[in-house]
Amino acid sequence: MNSTYSPLFETFNLAKGVELKNRLVMAPMTNFSSNPDGTVTDEEINYYERRSSGVGMVITACTYVTANGKGFHGEFGGDTDVMIPSLSRLASAIKAKGAKAILQIFHGGREVPPELVPNGDVVSAGDIPSAGEGKPVPRPLTEKEIESIVRDFGETTRRAIEAGYDGVEIHGANGYLIQQFFSPHSNRREDKWGGSLEKRLSFPLAVVDEVQKAIAKHAKAPFIVGYRFSPEEPETPGITMDDTLALIDGLASKKLDYLHVSLMEFWSKARRGAEADRARIEIIKERVGDQVPVIGVGSIYTADDAIKAMQSGIPLLALGRELIIDPEWVQKVEQGRETEIVTKINRNHQQQLDIPDPLWQAIIHSPGWFPGIE
Segment 134-165, tens digit of pLDDT: 899 999 999 999 999 999 999 999 999 999 99
CB 213, CB 237: distance < 8 Å: no
Q: Please tell me the distance from the alpha carbon of residue 249 to that of residue 197, in angstroms, as a whole number.
A: 12
Give the pairing type, strands 294-297 and 316-319. Answer: parallel
Tell me: pLDDT of 178 over 70. yes
Segment 325-370, tens digit of pLDDT: 999 999 999 999 999 999 999 999 999 999 999 999 999 999 999 9
Tell me: pLDDT of 1 over 70. yes
Q: Give the number of other CB atoms < 10 A from CB of residue 281.
A: 25
Q: Output the CA torsion 139→143→148→149 (10° steps).
A: 50
- Percentage of the chain modeled with pLDDT above 90: 95
Tell me: pLDDT of 132 over 90. no
Confidence band, pLDDT 50/70/90 cuts, at residue 374 = low
Active site residue 64: no
Q: How far is CA 33 from CA 4, 95, 168, 317, 359, in A?
A: 38, 20, 21, 25, 7
Q: Please tell me the distance from the alpha carbon of residue 36 to that of residue 15, in angstroms, as a whole number.
A: 38
Class of domain 3-365: alpha beta
pLDDT at residue number 373: 82
Give the pairing type, strands 224-229 and 167-172. Answer: parallel
pLDDT at residue number 169: 99
Q: Please tell me the distance from the alpha carbon of residue 246 to that of residue 262, in angstroms, as a whole number.
A: 17
Segment 239-289, tens digit of pLDDT: 999 999 999 999 999 999 999 999 999 999 998 766 777 999 999 999 999
User: What does pLDDT average to over the chain?
Assistant: 96
pLDDT at residue number 274: 67
Q: Is the peptide bond before 293 cis (omega within 30 degrees of 0)?
A: no
Segment 78-109, tens digit of pLDDT: 999 999 999 999 999 999 999 999 999 999 99
- Residue spans of the domains in the chain: they are 3-365
Helices 241-252 and 280-288, packing angle to 10 deg:
30
Half-sphere exposure of 73 (CA within 13 A, CB side): 8
Select the more confidently predicted residue: 186 or 133: 186
Segment 24-39, tens digit of pLDDT: 999 999 999 999 999 9
Q: Which of 47, 48, 165, 176 is catalytic?
A: 176
Residue 258 CB partners (closer than 8 Å, separation 6+): 14, 224, 226, 227, 292, 293, 294, 295, 316
* Burial of 101 (C-beta count, 10 Å sphere; 0-12/13-18/19+): buried
